[in-house]
C-alpha cells in the first residue's frame, strides 16, 4: 500500500518540477545566459577589424587556432596585416543573442612579424546545434607563412608564398596559388 502512494507522490512532484521549469523558461526573465534547453536559437553577428603593422622587408608568420569558425587567409600586395573578425552568437531571442555576442572573447597577439589569432570555445557552451563562432578573415603580405589549426569550420588560404600548414577536424580545407609546401594533419 505504501509503495503506490510514494510512486504517485513522486510522479506529482516530477510533473510540478517540469511545469515550474517550463514557466520559468518561458518568462521574460527566465535563463539569463545561453540556455541549453532553447531550441529557438537566433543568431546575432558583430564585425570587428584591426590593422597590424609589420616590417614589410621581412616575411610574416601567421598562426591561427580557431575552435569554431571559418578562417580565410589571402595574400596580397599589402604592407600590413588586416584582420576582420566576425563573432556570431546564438540565443532564444535577438536581444539575448546580442548580449551573448558581447561575451565572445578571442585574442590577437603580435611579436614582431609573428601574429597569432586564437578563439577557444568556453567550457560553458550551450548543448544545441548552434555554437558561438569566431570567423577570421585575414589579408597578409604575399611573403607570409601560414599555420591554421581549427576544430570546426572551413579553412581557405590563397596567394601566399610562405609555407602553409593546415589542419581541421570538421570542414572544408582549400589552398590555392601558393609556392611552397602545404602540410597538414590532425592527430
pTM of the model: 0.74
Tell me whether residue 37 is in a domain: no
80 and 144 both lie in a single domain: yes
Quick: pLDDT tens for 24-33: 665 555 544 5
- Asked whether the CA dihedral 185, 172, 78, 177 is positive or negative, the reply is positive
Give the three cell numbers for residue 127.
548543448
The verdict on residue 35 lying in a domain is: no
Given pLDDT bands bounded at 50, 70 and 90, which one contains residue 157?
very high
Q: Evaluate if residue 59 carries a pLDDT over 50.
A: yes
Measured CA to CA, the distance from residue 180 to residue 137 in angstroms comes to: 21
* Arithmetic mean of pLDDT, 145-163: 93
Domain with 178 in it: 42-183
Mean pLDDT along residues 92-121? 92
Confidence bin at 187 (pLDDT 50/70/90): very low
* Residue 155 belongs to a domain: yes
Share of the chain above pLDDT 70, in %: 80
Same domain, yes or no: 17 and 105:
no
CA–CA distance, 150 with 120 (Å, rounded to integer): 10
pLDDT over 60 (residue 35): no
Residue 185: φ, ψ to 5°:
-165, 155
What does residue 8 show for φ and ψ, rounded to 5 degrees? -60, -45
Amino acid at each position: 500500500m505504501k509503495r503506490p502512494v510514494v510512486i504517485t507522490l513522486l510522479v506529482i512532484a516530477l510533473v510540478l518540477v517540469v511545469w515550474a521549469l517550463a514557466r520559468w523558461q518561458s518568462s521574460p526573465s527566465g535563463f539569463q545566459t545561453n540556455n541549453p534547453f532553447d531550441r529557438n536559437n537566433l543568431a546575432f553577428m558583430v564585425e570587428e577589424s584591426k590593422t597590424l603593422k609589420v616590417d614589410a622587408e621581412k616575411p610574416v608568420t601567421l598562426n591561427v587556432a580557431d575552435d569554431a569558425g571559418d578562417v580565410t587567409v589571402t595574400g596580397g600586395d599589402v604592407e600590413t596585416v588586416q584582420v576582420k573578425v566576425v563573432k556570431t552568437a546564438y540565443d532564444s531571442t535577438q536581444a539575448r543573442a546580442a548580449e551573448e555576442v558581447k561575451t565572445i572573447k578571442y585574442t590577437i597577439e603580435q611579436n614582431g612579424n609573428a601574429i597569432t589569432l586564437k578563439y577557444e570555445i568556453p567550457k560553458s557552451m550551450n548543448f544545441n546545434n548552434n555554437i558561438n563562432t569566431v570567423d577570421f578573415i585575414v589579408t597578409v603580405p604575399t611573403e607570409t607563412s601560414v599555420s591554421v589549426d581549427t576544430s570546426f569550420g572551413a579553412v581557405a588560404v590563397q596567394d601566399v608564398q610562405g609555407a602553409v600548414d593546415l589542419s581541421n577536424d570538421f570542414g572544408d580545407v582549400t589552398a590555392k596559388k601558393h609556392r611552397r609546401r602545404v602540410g597538414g594533419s590532425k592527430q
